[in-house]
Every structure is written in C-alpha cells, then in structure tokens.
Amino acid sequence: MLWLSVGLGLVLSLGFAEWFGLAAGGLVVPGYIALFWNQPLKIVGTVIIALAAFGTVKVIANYTIIYGRRKLVLTVLIAFVYAWIFRYLAGGGLLSVAGALDPIGFIIPGLLAYWMDRQGVIDTLTTMVIASVIVRLLLIVFKGGELLEVALPTS
C-alpha cells in the first residue's frame, strides 16, 4: 500500500508542479499524508512540527546567510530534531495528551517546512491537502471501494 500511495503522490505532485506551479510539500509528502487521513491528529502534529521548523529557519535566516541545499538540509534537520524531542516527551509520559499528535515520520515535517519557506504556508498546505485527498481517493478506487485503515509505523 505504501508503494502505491507514494507512487501516486509522486505523479500527482509532479502534475501539480507542472499545471499549477505549486509543490505539495515535497514529492513524497502527499503519498504519506494520504495514508494517515484516518488519523487526522497525526497530520496536525506533522504540520505543527513543520511550522515550528519553518519559524526557526526564518529566525536563523535573519542572522546568517542561508540558501539552497544548506537551507534544505537545515530545515529538515531542525524538523527532525523537533519531531524527535516531541516523540521523546510524548513517549516518556510528559506530554501524554500529545501522543495522538505524533508527527508522521521525521523527514515529512522538514520537507513541508522547506516548501512553506519557498512558496508560502497557505499555498503549501492547501496543495498538500488537495493532493493527498486525491491520492487517498485513488487508493480507495484501486482497492475496489474498500475504505483504508492503514496504520504504518511512524518511526
């Protein structure tokens, strides 16, 4: 299921970039998000981590010159650290309420944050939502109308 979802997400992401000039938060992001629409709090947690990383990179960019590949790596790395800290605190019982907000993976929030910086928060999030919902609908169609209850490990 993961391979099909990511594959459809890749095709759709490329289509959105070509047709509308908008990225859906990275090529693989819609495919992963599509698998978690049955767990919306995970998507919310992923977006929260992405927004935190986006804000942190904006602050860092006020004090240093950062662009290109370095900005991408810094953004993904900051989101990775935030996701790790969040999981550590939630897993240790310190943030027991936040367990449902566990982000999707460690890289997805960073890719989202990077594209938020490149094309804007609203454009990135709306494109991601639309693309991932279309991927989810295509997955349901390909599975013969069967609703998807996917529970992937997020670590």
- Going from N- to C-terminal start, the domains of the chain cover 2-142
d(CA 151, CA 37): 10
Backbone angles phi, psi at 106, to 5 degrees: -115, -20
pLDDT at residue 146, rounded to an integer:
74
pLDDT at residue 145, rounded to an integer:
73
What pTM was computed for the model?
0.88
d(CA 146, CA 140): 6
Residues of the chain with pLDDT under 70: 92-99, 147-155
Reduced to 3 states, what is the DSSP secondary structure of residue 3? Answer: helix
d(CA 78, CA 54): 9
Contacts of 13 (CB under 8 A, 6+ apart): 23, 24, 26, 27, 28, 29, 30, 131
